[in-house]
Amino acid sequence: MGYILLIKQPVYIQLKHYDMNKEVLEQAKARVGEQVAQWVTTGMVVGLGTGSTAAYAIRAIGRRVKEEGLRVTGVPTSYSAELLARMVGIPVATPGEVERIDLAIDGADEVDPELRLIKGRGAAHTRERIVAAMAERFVVVADFSKEVAQLGEKMPVPVEVLPFAWRPVERSLQVLGGKPVLRMGMRKDGPVITDQGFWILDVKFESMGDPREVASMLKTLPGVLDHGLFIDETTDVLIATAEGTIVHRRRT
């Protein structure tokens, strides 16, 4: 098998904040997905993220596989990403079947100026972190609406918790100043269940403070598997703008 493409420099595409309708937003996501797909070369092992923007990248890579004969191996971060990859013709493998990942491509719910992220609206952040840690280069693709001055401005922090422990963890998060809400299914009764069989507490903090300290604190709570704060993983961010351009930012 060929090598895995891992990118250790962040790519960030900056989008200006305009009132945009859904069609314009989807066009922005598609542009950034097409852009990052061009970074993939034959022989790479590519991490395939979860979410709407990452899905555009997966489809674009799939087209290159069919139309150009691109040979890659994808490592999906969720069942949904795996299903999409197989549908578009990308051969897939698990993290245990590859030694490294050359390039991991994923989305984000928020991106701050230091390329720190909140992830997890797709409830796949635990697997996404594993893939990101294996990657030589971890590239985040996003639309302009995901840019924030400080993490937590718009989105809560997802905390993946053992169902047995969700009430004790909820109380601990409240003591720490958070406002946790158990994430419920949209088309089913009961909580959202992750691929690991865990539940999600979405935690809103009045003031995030130092995201690194918050991330460290969350991992110490008994019953918590992982959370959606990504502090050091990102190497590049690509952000699609409303004007049709893509801004590339790298961690220095």
pLDDT at 101 over 50: yes
* 177: its two tokens: 């100043």
pLDDT at 4 over 60: no
* 15: its two tokens: 């989008």
pLDDT band for 245, please (50, 70, 90 cuts).
confident
Per-residue b/e over 95-121, b at no fewer than 16 CB within 10 Å? Answer: beebeebbbbbbbbbbbbeebbbbbbb
For residues 122 and 51, is the Cβ–Cβ distance under 8 A? yes
pLDDT at 2 over 80: no
185-139-31 Cα angle (round to 5): 80
108-111-113 Cα angle (round to 5): 160
pLDDT band for 8, please (50, 70, 90 cuts).
very low
pLDDT band for 230, please (50, 70, 90 cuts).
very high
pTM of the full structure: 0.87
* Average per-residue pLDDT for the chain: 90
Burial grade of 222 (CB within 10 A; 0-12, 13-18, 19 or more): exposed
Taking the C-alpha atoms of residue 61 and residue 99, their distance in angstroms, rounded to an integer, is: 21
Taking the C-alpha atoms of residue 137 and residue 238, their distance in angstroms, rounded to an integer, is: 13
Q: Where are the alpha helices (DSSP H) in 79-175?
A: 79-87, 125-134, 166-175
* 1: its two tokens: 């098998």
Catalytic residues, by residue number, are: 128
Which tens digit of pLDDT belongs to each residue from 178-206?
A: 999 999 988 777 899 999 999 999 999 98
Which residues are CB-neighbours of 9 under 8 A, at least 6 positions away? 137, 235, 236, 250, 251
Question: Is 157-228 a domain of CATH 3.30.70.260?
Answer: yes
pLDDT at 41 over 60: yes
Phi, psi of 102 (to 5 degrees): -75, -45
Which tens digit of pLDDT belongs to each residue from 69-84?
A: 999 999 999 999 999 9
Q: Which CATH architecture has domain 22-147+231-250?
A: 3-Layer(aba) Sandwich (3.40)
User: What ranges do the domains of the chain cover?
Assistant: 22-147+231-250, 157-228
Which tens digit of pLDDT belongs to each residue from 118-149?
A: 999 999 999 999 999 999 999 999 988 899 99
